[in-house]
Structure 1
Amino acid sequence: MTDTAQPFDADREYDLVVSRVVPLGPFKYRPRDKIIAKGSLLNRIVEEHGADAIRTAEPR
């Protein structure tokens, strides 16, 4: 990814739903689960799997 901009506030929490299975470290995030995640995790997902890997991310 050539754009270095971080689309999510790294310290803020979000309600996350992914659009497909997203393996990240020892975890697999699945589209059926609603996850509470920090923006830093969302930024990593975008960096490694693309923005289309995130279905929704609503700030808490």
Structure 2
Amino acid sequence: MVICPYCQKEIAGELDTCPHCGVTMIYFYQCHRCHQEIAATGILKFCPLCDANFSDQMN
């Protein structure tokens, strides 16, 4: 489960928008291959810049 940063309620980790308050979740990634920081409104499986796999970086 993920906690919404706006309303502090729990939401399912696969949702991109909080069903309680409507805030769009933003996820931040640091690519281990190209070292770029990437912000996305959904869960990324691969780096959009170098195609590195993010599955080992997921919590």
Name the structure where helix makes up a greater proportion of residues: 1
Pair member with larger Rg: 2
Name the structure where strand makes up a greater proportion of residues: 1
Between the two structures, name the one with larger relative contact order (CA 8 Å, sep ≥ 6): 1
The question of a shared fold, defined as TM-score above 0.5 by the shorter chain, is answered with no
TM-score by length of 2: 0.34
